[in-house]
Amino acid sequence: MANGISNKSVVLSDIRKSYGGLEVIHGIDLTIEEGDFVVFVGPSGCGKSTLLRMIAGLEEVTEGEIAIKGRDVTDLDPSERGIAMVFQSYALYPHMSVSENLGFGLKMARTDPAEIERRVAQVSAILKIDHLLDRRPGQLSGGQRQRVAIGRAIVRKPDVFLFDEPLSNLDAELRVSMRIEIARLHRELGNTMVYVTHDQTEAMTLADQIVVLRDGRIEQAGSPRGVYEDPANMFVAGFIGSPRMNFLDAEWQGDGTIRVGEATLEAAIDGGSLKHGERLLLGVRPEHIAVAEPGPERITAQVEFSEYLGGTRYLYCQLEDGQSLVVEQRDGPDWQAGERLSFAVPEDRRRFFAEDGRRLR
Amino acid sequence: MRTRREIRARKALWDRIAYHGIGIGTAFFFLAPFAVSFLASFRPNSESGRPPLPPWPISGMSFDAYRALDSFGAGIWQHMFNSLLVSIGTVFLTVAVSVLAGYGFSRYRFPFKNALFVLIIATLMIPFQSILTPLFIILARLGLNNSLVGLMLVYVTLQLPFSVFMMRNAFDAVPKEIEEAARIDGARDLKLLVRVLLPLVMPGIATVSIFAFLNAWNEFFAALVLLSSNDNYTLPVLMTAVRAGRLGAINWGAVQAGVAVMVVPCLFVFLLLQRYYMRGLMAGAVK
């Protein structure tokens, strides 16, 4: 039991934040296990950065408690929390050389100069920036600056790393390589990392645990696979995945089937609470829809246009009642705009949502 | 038939001649007054009444003018010291106050912040000559009349609105994240200000320093009114006092020497800080 407690790295209990009378974070409860890589995702304005900044101590907590490694840090100064943060804009000190940037935190903590030098050398070797130590941030490229910013975090040996959209200032290619770099660092250092991003690919590839936020509330927290394949509600289902999940209007038939346009589909949900003819939504991801022979279980739609992306192809279709449907295809013939196709949706890939967004199971 | 390469070379040559020619011509107009004044200060007494051209001494160099300047009051070194004391004191006090005020206005949230800021800026619209009498009375009450410290305080007061404005802009231009990164690194309060922020607002400080120095160094009216004893005169006041020659004639030689002496520190300060000063004026103009 004692072991169980010490495994918790960051514990947020009923965290709230208000600006004046306006509450923007509405009671967040979250436990982050030691060594986990947790990613906060959500649309802009959902409070993910604010939450991270509250963990860092840069933003005051209106109510609730933050504990890091079992220690209540809610009212502690940022430097005393055992955290380090990497900012989107790098926030390097422009008037200091790279090695001074790396050693600044240790210097402020009155670390022995020889020890500072040793740790700076060690960190710069890990990040392969040892040849840049005498340069100023202004003389570095974006990727190099980001490495220095990460190095500045590592050198302090924090309990928790905080990343605030660290890659969004980099170009696409560099973003991929830095993403891999961060994953490698997490594997090597084994520290707890909390990472804020709006980029789904980053979230899916890096995270042990994804926390989806909306309007200052946690919508779902779980593994990337759990969040993707078993979304808790329509918001999560629509937010995670690109192109987003298709949502089609459907009607509950009362006998375990639903009606979508002309098609009748089996729906493996507990329909006890549903009335006959009640409206609900069928959610299907584009990659789970396949072109098939016509039949009663087939959804028919007209191809509007298609996007060819090399490995995959997206067909943008329209149902008879005007609803749009995106279908991903790996191979098969080219379809021309205007063609009418029948689509099959495997039964285990169907997700059902009530009109208010609740998941129906 | 000339080749295209030759045509291009000729064009480049003409471009260069025009570019440097205009540059040298402009520089000439700016530098000529300095040269005229400086050369004229070496004329002997007998020549000081001559027309300004040619500006150089005809019958050999002489330091008569500098001797005349030095013979007045407590000697040129004392007055130079007075001026330097007031100017450098003004610079340090102005920078110290405006850095703190600018930081406060830029970073902290407090009630009536903008109203207070506008109020400070609004004082720029009051011509200081109009408040000289009350200032005189206040200084007299404080026992600071005819004192260089009193004069310095007056200069600092006059310098502050512009300086606070300048420093607020300088701090506004420093990204918040840098300050936050420093807080995470454990730098707080004064340490944060001195170790991290001060180097970043150096251009602003240089601008404020140059303005404070030049204004205090050249200021005449307040010094004339507030200083009553000869020994305390700053250089501008000394210049008017020394100007009066015999029988109502103007001692042009002494004036030229005074100008030469006064210009040197200004040039020195400007050349020392101009690299920062240019950046300071540009700050915030373009993101």
Could you say which residues of chain A have pLDDT below 50? 1-5
CB neighbours of A17 closer than 8 A, spacing ≥ 6? A23, A24, A25, A47, A50, A54, A59, A60, A61, A62, A216
Find the closest chain A residue to B200 by CA distance.
A95
Boundary-marking domain end, from B66, B95, B119: B66
Q: Do B202 and B110 sit in the same domain of this protein?
A: yes
- Is the model's pLDDT at B279 over the cut of 80? no
A18 CB within 8 Å of a chain B CB:
no
Residues of B in Cβ contact (< 8 Å) with A108: 185-187, 191
Cα distance between residue B160 and residue B153, in whole Å: 11
Residues of A in Cβ contact (< 8 Å) with B203: none
pLDDT number for residue B282: 56
Cα distance between residue A115 and residue B199, in whole Å: 26
Separation in Å, CA of B278 to nearest CA in chain A: 18
Bridge partners, residue A195, by sequence = A39, A163
Class of residue A34 by CB neighbours under 10 A (exposed 0-12, middle 13-18, buried 19+): middle
Boundary-marking domain end, from B66, B98, B122: B66
Q: For the residues of B265-279, what is the DSSP string, one character each?
A: HHHHHHHHHHHHHHH
Yes or no, beta carbons of B175 and A109 under 8 Å apart? no
Binned at pLDDT 50, 70 and 90, residue B233 comes out as confident
Binned at pLDDT 50, 70 and 90, residue B287 comes out as very low
Mutate to test the interface with A, among B180, B183, B185, B205 (most CBs of A within 10 A): B185
Q: Do B129 and B257 sit in the same domain of this protein?
A: yes
Whichever domain contains B189, its CATH number is: 1.10.3720.10
Mean pLDDT of chain B: 86
Cα distance between residue B88 and residue B95, in whole Å: 11
Backbone phi, psi, residue A259, to 5°? -115, 125
pLDDT digits (tens, 9 = 90+) for B261-278: 888 888 888 888 877 776
B198 CB within 8 Å of a chain A CB:
no
Q: Which domain holds residue B13?
A: 2-66
A94 CB within 8 Å of a chain B CB:
yes
Q: Do B14 and B81 sit in the same domain of this protein?
A: no
Whether the CB-CB separation of B102 and B164 falls below 8 Å is answered with yes
Name residue, tokens 């192109």. A243
pLDDT number for residue B246: 63
A138 CB within 8 Å of a chain B CB:
no
Q: How many CB atoms lie within 10 A of CB B127?
A: 8
Domains in chain B, number:
2
pLDDT number for residue A276: 85
CB neighbours of A171 closer than 8 A, spacing ≥ 6? A142
Residues of A in Cβ contact (< 8 Å) with B178: 91-94
pLDDT digits (tens, 9 = 90+) for B153-171: 999 999 999 999 999 999 9
* pTM to 2 decimal places: 0.81
Find the closest chain B residue to A92 by CA distance.
B178
Yes or no, beta carbons of A108 and B186 under 8 Å apart? yes
Q: Do B243 and B108 sit in the same domain of this protein?
A: yes
Query: In this structure, which amino acid lies at residue B265?
Result: P
Of the listed ranges B138-152, B202-216, B231-245, the one predicted with least confidence: B231-245
Q: Do B59 and B79 sit in the same domain of this protein?
A: no
Q: Do B43 and B86 sit in the same domain of this protein?
A: no
pLDDT number for residue B150: 92
Yes or no, beta carbons of B182 and A83 under 8 Å apart? no
Yes or no, beta carbons of A56 and B184 under 8 Å apart? yes
B178 CB within 8 Å of a chain A CB:
yes
Write down how long chain B is: 287
Q: Do B86 and B59 sit in the same domain of this protein?
A: no
pLDDT number for residue B278: 67
Whether the CB-CB separation of A344 and A292 falls below 8 Å is answered with yes
Average pLDDT on B14-28 reads 96
Q: Do B159 and B281 sit in the same domain of this protein?
A: yes
